[in-house]
Amino acid sequence: MRPTLYEELWPGDTFDVKFRRTPELDSTVTVGPDGFVQLPLAGRIRASGRTPADLEVDIERLCQAEIKDPEASVLMTGFEGRAVHVGGEVKDPGRFVLTGPTTPLEALIQAGGTLESAALDNVLLVRAFENGGRRVFALDLKATIAGRDQTGHLRLVPSDLLLVPRSGIANVNVWVDQYIRKNLPFNILIRPDAGVF
């Protein structure tokens, strides 16, 4: 059975390789951007897309010529390769590590929720692909919350970027604040039901 992306190693993940009988060969490595690691005796090995258990078998096989009965263990120490980025009109933008299946709405909750100025009907998901290309998806999370659209239920993958833009009315408020309120010697109040006072 194929492992899930949450069980696989990703570029940026770190792990310890421990040898039971030869601790002098123990090492800590980070999966490179190309998906490979360099290990003593075993050499250059593809790690990305593989589980730690798969990697243990490969390391032991590659070390058998130099070590009798090598028993290797791969212990995960860092999951930075599984991070997604959430930015824009959220309370706590930043990097969040995927520990299991996560939807865009769940990622927004991890980022502390959205600000009042958020435009949930036009959230952008930027996804990177192995060939170096990127694709941008527009998600209507407002419709997802209302049950009218299912795109907000897709699963995020490592390196996804989720950007919540500012709503049109929030942009108007920023413009009014910058170009009117700060430049007049008196305060004005704009109320949608009554005009300008």
- Evaluate if residue 44 carries a pLDDT over 90: yes
Q: Do 150 and 89 share a structural domain?
A: yes
Under the banding of pLDDT at 50, 70 and 90, the label for residue 128 is confident
Task: Give the DSSP per-residue string, the chain.
Answer: -PPPTTTSB-TT-EEEEEESS-GGG-EEEE--TTSEEEETTTEEEE-BTS-HHHHHHHHHHHHTTTSSS--EEEEEEE-GGGEEEEEESBSS-EEEE--S---HHHHHHHTT-B-TTB-GGGEEEEEE-TTS-EEEEEE-HHHHHTTS--GGGSPP-TT-EEEEPBPHHHHHHHHHHHHTGGGSSS---EETTTEE-
Q: Are residues 91 and 153 in the same domain?
A: yes
pLDDT at 185 over 60: no
Give residue-wise pLDDT tens across range 51-106. Answer: 999 999 999 999 898 888 889 999 999 888 889 999 999 999 999 998 888 999 99
72 and 87 share one domain = no
Provide the residue range defining the domain that includes 35. 14-78
Q: Is the pTM of this model over 0.75?
A: no
* Same domain assignment for residues 145 and 93: yes
